[in-house]
Amino acid sequence: MTLLHDADLAAAFDRAAPGYDRLVAANPGYHAHLRRSVRRLGLPGPGTGLRVLDLGCGTGASTAALCAALPDAEITAVDASACMLCRATAKPWPKGVRFVCAPVEALAEAGVEGPFDAVFAAYLFRNVTDPDAVLATVHRLLAPHGRLAVHEYTLSGRPAHRAVWTAVCRGLVLPVATALGDGDLYRHLWRSVVGFDTADRFAGRVRAAGFDRVRVLPLPGWQTGITHTVVGRRARSTAGGPR
């Protein structure tokens, strides 16, 4: 199967938006894991005076995780799917939250400007055409020593973890999604994870993009070895390095 990208992927998320929250709610630990990854940013609560960018916010699950830890922060939440954002904006939010409809590759055109104290990206990087270009954009948007946390399906590289992922997708996720009419999107989900970086390889991308203190942190439950938080800090620019 050919993976979905760009406008085709945004359109698939548009079609899936009505049932998206129900599907993720059936995933054990989904919201708790997002909150754990937000805490791994290491930002002081309640976030007074902080600017945080939430990339790939979808229907707002990652935004809610940020609000739970940083209720006083100014949060800009971005997604390319207008229908997913409609679901997000229909929910109650603190006054410091705003939503922007734009692909991550076009943030400047959408008026999203740094510097941000932190960037949180959940389930984003395996869905972009050029992860390195997006990391370079994130680096530019962060303040010096700004924090990055990427919450992503990044397999460990062990065959057992890949087998668990495939079994869950084939046995549970795909049958339910197909019954709801969203089979194309969730087949993409399965294949995009299998074809994406391992956690260690993605951490290497983050270092190459100009981040230091990069760590790969596991998540518990059935997603052990399947989903990780990759955290890092924007290093100060050096000659020849990212700016």
Buried/exposed code over 39-52 (b: 16+ C-beta within 10 A; e: otherwise): bbbebeeebeebbb
Distance of alpha carbon 143 from alpha carbon 34, whole angstroms: 23
β-pairing, 116-122 vs 51-55, is: parallel
Q: How confident is the model at residue 224 (pLDDT cuts 50, 70, 90)?
A: very high
C-beta atoms surrounding 131 within 10 Å: 19
The number of beta carbons lying within 10 Å of the beta carbon of residue 222 is: 14
pLDDT confidence band for 238 (50 / 70 / 90): very low
pLDDT over threshold 60, residue 242: no
> Averaged over 43-66, what is the pLDDT?
97
The C-alpha angle 36, 38, 39, rounded to 5 degrees, equals 65
Among residues 119, 120, 102, which one has the least CA distance to residue 111? 102
Tokens of 135: 């990391």
0.85 exceeded by pTM:
yes
pLDDT per residue over 133-178, tens digit each? 999 999 999 999 999 999 999 999 999 999 999 999 999 888 988 8
pLDDT digits (tens, 9 = 90+) for 189-199: 999 999 999 99
pLDDT score of 239 more than 60: no
Alpha carbon dihedral 78, 79, 80, 85, in 10-degree steps, equals -110
pLDDT of residue 2: 64
Residue 57 sits at φ, ψ, to 5 deg, of -75, -20
DSSP-derived 3-state class of residue 208:
helix
| In the block, residue with structure tokens 């190459």 | 208
